[in-house]
Amino acid sequence: MLSRLRTITYRESGEDMPKRATKKRTASHVDPQLFTGPDERRVAKPIVEHPLSPDPHPELVFGIVGPIGVNLEPVITVLYRELQAVGYKAKTIQLSRQIEIFFGTDHTLETEDNRISHLMDEGTRLRTKSGSGDAVALLGIAEIRRIRSEELGGTPSQNAFILRSLKHPKEVETLRSVYGKAISFCPEKSTPPN
């Protein structure tokens, strides 16, 4: 969005003050001649874009909500493809991995049943010890901040994060309060594979 540039100059020659700039300009592309000259008493100042102006490419967060055992890969693959098609850098944050990192465990070599059981136990322990149903979501938020800072240059524009997968209503509530309209939830209700 281009900012309008308002030039207000007071001329000693008695000329009428211009009511409006003839060209739209951004503050970074200002013609220096607009601000200098022997007949000006004041230097005109550009109006800077308002800090609450919407970003044309805001950071987005997608929370995948699904029961245990549902294959989420098709949903994530479509999200990645569509986000990349419109110029976004997409990153998936596996919340179960964040639980493992928090507790210093690794269940990847276990059978699927044992891996799921251990992760459920650790998620419950995390929520119980913290006294907060949104503890796993907070781990996801911390990982978003880390990735944004360390991997994406610290800028939120055109970043998209896919949180895989939310299990507790308090997680959804907290993420909605933190990210507002920038978060979308994708409920996956497919039947688990046999």
Q: What is the pLDDT of residues 168-183, one digit of tens each?
A: 999 999 999 999 988 8
pLDDT of residue 165: 87
Full-prediction pTM beyond 0.85? Answer: no
Domain extent for 42 = 1-53
Give the total number of structural domains in the chain.
2
User: CB of 8 within 8 A of CB of 17?
Assistant: yes
Asked if the structure places residue 99 within a domain, the reply is yes
* Shared-domain flag, residues 2 and 77: no
Closest by CA position to 31, among listed 49, 46, 19: 46
Three-state DSSP at 159 gives: strand
Residue 38 has pLDDT above 90, yes or no: no
At 10-22, the pLDDT tens digits run 334 445 544 444 4
Residue 4 has pLDDT above 70, yes or no: no
pLDDT of residue 69: 79
Asked if the structure places residue 39 within a domain, the reply is yes
Q: Tell me the average pLDDT across 34-58.
A: 59
At 102-155, the pLDDT tens digits run 999 999 999 999 999 999 999 999 999 999 999 999 999 999 999 999 999 888
* Shared-domain flag, residues 43 and 80: no
**Distance between CA 190 and CA 172 in Å, rounded?**
20
More confident residue, 89 or 23: 89
**Distance between CA 182 and CA 62 in Å, rounded?**
8
**Residues with Cβ within 8 Å of residue 144, at least 6 apart in sequence:** 61, 93, 161
Asked if the structure places residue 194 within a domain, the reply is no
User: CB of 90 within 8 A of CB of 79?
Assistant: yes
Q: What is the DSSP-derived secondary structure letter of residue 46?
A: P
Domain boundary among 26, 53, 80: 53
* Shared-domain flag, residues 66 and 81: yes
pLDDT of residue 53: 74
pLDDT of residue 16: 52
Q: Could you tell me the CATH number of the domain that includes residue 118? A: 3.40.50.300
* Shared-domain flag, residues 39 and 118: no
* Shared-domain flag, residues 128 and 149: yes
